[in-house]
Amino acid sequence: MNAVPDDSSWEAFDAGTLANAATAALRAYDPGHDLPALRARFGRDIAELGSNENPLGPSPRAIEAMRNALAETFRYPDPRGLALKTALAAHHGVGLDRIALGNGSHELLILLAQCFADPQHSIVFSQFGFAVFPIATAVAGAIALRVPALSRTHATAPFGHDVAAMAHAIRADTRIVYVANPNNPTGTWFDDAALDRFAASVPRDVLLVVDEAYGEYVDAPGLSGALRLAQRHPNLIVTRTFSKAYALAGLRVGYLIAHPSVVAVVERLRESFNVNNVALAAAEAALGDAAHLAKSKAWNAAERAWLADALSSRGYRVLPSQTNFVLVDLGRDAAPFEKHLFDRGVIVRPMGGYGLGESVRISIGSREENQRLLDALP
């Protein structure tokens, strides 16, 4: 039986014209490269330096926990994720009612806009801030206030968040401010003192969302994260993820820590089973393996310094980073550079979509991958 009519009405139908106003303004995610196709083409012999994954892989304890959880996948996961939340509450020294779990922190960043912003509200974020911030704004149909970033030649945070300008950009209709600290794709950060000043200038009826996806990698002096401010600023929301330093990107687990009333609102819209039972078990086990995390962090810091040095000595401008990637500012169209590496099986992240078409973002890979990048440079 063929339900497709053979006249032209099938072709002529366009559900795009039926999309609601917010969705009509959106575009589907552009993954940059078709990685499954590339793996097939190069017989997996590619250096994947485009997605900020931890090449050390997950904790062996997380792998063991995943194996054990597999037999339980015929059951629905715990909709409250209680075991993981209990572990997170102990880890961060906060109450259970202050944590919400997400299918990656990406989901939570979007949910926050959906829960708290309407089309008459504005949302503030930085020019080269994380790509999900403008998408979350559009999902809510809210007004985007994109604040110019610090200059390319700024001494400590080129292309970074200009938090003073962001504070000024907040209007009476502003409902959310998103910052990423450290930020992706720039790798830049602002220190505790700057965050304290910024948080103090954000009115209480504006939610300040601090995305700390790279928080576990941070070792710069004077940078200890936003959670310590939570008691003084009930409007502060911190998001974290198991995708980066915990090396569980494929499982999709993130969380937010906020005032209980924020969590209560998010829980209304959160899909009840958004984090699957394999992911819940793995994240809990990964959190319990402090040694593996410390190893990833130390290794990343050393390897990042090594790679940055090697690139600098070849004449490249490498921006400061507190993450597991570096942004390289070529000062000219980056497309030929990317293509040159691509043809040699080295995948980096193009930045044109961010308006940084003269830069590339390079994740810290294994030593073999990083060496291969260096050998492949034009």
Binding residues (CB under 6 A) for ligand PLP: these are 52, 104-106, 130, 180, 184, 211, 213, 241, 243-244, 249, 254
Which tokens go with 9?
């009405």
Rounded-to-integer distance, Cα 12 and Cα 22, Å: 23
Report which residue's Cβ sits closest to ligand PLP. 104
Indicate the residue among 206 and 248 with the shorter CB distance to ligand PLP. Answer: 248
Q: Please state the closest distance from residue 137 (CB atom) to ligand PLP, in A.
A: 15
Indicate the residue among 280 and 345 with the shorter CB distance to ligand PLP. Answer: 280
* Nearest of 152, 145, 90, 147 to residue 122 by alpha carbon: 145
Q: Please state the closest distance from residue 243 (CB atom) to ligand PLP, in A.
A: 3
Which tokens go with 117?
């912003």
Q: Please state the closest distance from residue 324 (CB atom) to ligand PLP, in A.
A: 10
Helices 367-376 and 290-313, packing angle to 10 deg: 20
Rounded-to-integer distance, Cα 87 and Cα 229, Å: 21
Q: Please state the closest distance from residue 228 (CB atom) to ligand PLP, in A.
A: 20
Rounded-to-integer distance, Cα 354 and Cα 228, Å: 31
Q: Please state the closest distance from residue 9 (CB atom) to ligand PLP, in A.
A: 40
Indicate the residue among 236 and 345 with the shorter CB distance to ligand PLP. Answer: 236
Indicate the residue among 274 and 345 with the shorter CB distance to ligand PLP. Answer: 274
Q: Please state the closest distance from residue 173 (CB atom) to ligand PLP, in A.
A: 25
Which tokens go with 79?
């909709």
Rounded-to-integer distance, Cα 247 and Cα 137, Å: 28
Rounded-to-integer distance, Cα 94 and Cα 258, Å: 9
Indicate the residue among 225 and 377 with the shorter CB distance to ligand PLP. Answer: 225
Contacts of 64 (CB under 8 A, 6+ apart): 285
Indicate the residue among 130 and 159 with the shorter CB distance to ligand PLP. Answer: 130
- For 74, the 3-state DSSP assignment is coil
